[in-house]
Amino acid sequence: MHTTLIDAHELYQLLEGSLTNTPPTLASTMPQDAASIMDSSTHTPDNTPTSTDTPSHDRHNQAQQCPSGNIVILDASFDLGNPQHGQQQFLSQHIPGAQFIDLDKHLSAQADDPPLSGGRHPLPSRERFAQTVARFGITPQTQVVVYDRNASAFCVRVWWMLNYLGHSGVAVLDGGLRAWTEAGLPVEQGEGCVPSIPEAPYPVGTPLVSLWTTKDVKDNIDVGTHVLLDARAKERYRGDTEPMDPRAGHIPGARSRPMTELFDDDGRFKSASELKENIISTTKGYGTDNAVVYCGSGVSATPGVLAAKIAQVPLPALYAGSFSEWSREEDTEVHTGDEL
């Protein structure tokens, strides 16, 4: 099982022979530049996700073939400023056999599901997410591969949530769709494949990653045992600008570690040694085993968890409610400027 990263050619080899009707069409357009979408500071999110957790498939169209061999490919492309754009991009171009998974519909709590976190993209309950992943054809034995067009800003949320469900067999396509198309590999257009739904529900297992709540963060401010790493752009951390949340700044004591520091210019994760050096530096004084990552709404912080796994250091916890939850609490303090 692949549990961290997979490159485009490795994925193609996994798929080879499992898709008999793969079209030869090659990508005609490249995804957005990584730097333009890693930070969501120029977008306004949709705060009212629709109440469905069923994969989006048009069954009036001819169904595309899903991979055989217990492989599921999920395209998690999203645009905070235009929540429908990710699916539109998927319809125009995606990896053969992929299914589209939506941040608002599938990866955030709905009105009838008590959330595990607050903020703009609250985590669904593990039980609800187990129902969702089963509808994508995922079983405990499935190798899941996730990707996006957003320099992994959104697909690693899927990786984290599956690990929190207890599913270790999930890997991120390093470099996303951009890496796939630049390798000259085939793509499809139209609706994704329609999976076979497992008869048994997906079993909720032991979490493989850690989740922090607002209470945990408040308690930590008092005891100071863990360092918080803020994955947002530095100008949002400092409070120079805040386009989404009610207050500008950062959680007291947090250090700025923008998500962009984890990636090369081509959207691929930096090497394990580079990531390890970054993690050791940003957690200095606390140790790599005492870190918590957060961002605006619990999405772009998740690459910080995967980066630690790539670097083979202890995984940081995720404060999933992140600054969008913290800044809405009446009894929380917000700092501006740079921390000493």
In angstroms, rounded to a whole number, what is the distance separating the alpha carbons of residues 64 and 321?
Answer: 36
Which residue do the tokens 């053969």 mark?
Answer: 96
Distances (CA, A) of 227 to 47, 54, 59, 319: 29, 37, 48, 12
* Whole-model pTM over 0.85: yes
Give the pLDDT score at 64.
78
Q: Is 183 helix (H, G, I), strand (E, B) or coil?
A: coil
User: Max alpha carbon distance in the chain (Å)?
Assistant: 59
Asked whether 35 and 79 are in contact (CB, 8 A), the reply is no
Q: Which two tokens stand for residue 159?
A: 């990786």
Asked whether 300 and 40 are in contact (CB, 8 A), the reply is yes
Report CA dihedral (181, 152, 246, 316) to the nearest 10 degrees.
Answer: -170
Residue 37 above 50 pLDDT? no
Better-predicted residue by pLDDT, 31 or 310: 310
The region of weakest confidence among 25-29, 88-92, 269-273 is 25-29
HSE (CB half, 13 Å, CA atoms) of 331? 6
Q: Among residues of the chain, what percentage have pLDDT more than 90?
A: 81
Residue 92 above 70 pLDDT? yes
Q: How do residues 129-150 score in pLDDT, each as one tens digit?
A: 999 999 999 999 999 999 999 9
Q: Angle 308-244-264 (CA atoms, 0-180°, nearest 5)?
A: 35
Q: How do residues 204-247 score in pLDDT, each as one tens digit?
A: 999 999 999 999 999 999 999 999 999 999 999 999 999 999 99
Active site residues: 295
Give the pLDDT score at 105.
96
Which residue do the tokens 């989006």 mark?
Answer: 56
Q: Which two tokens stand for residue 138?
A: 């995922």
In angstroms, rounded to a whole number, what is the distance separating the alpha carbons of residues 90 and 26?
Answer: 14
Query: What does pLDDT average to over the chain?
Result: 88
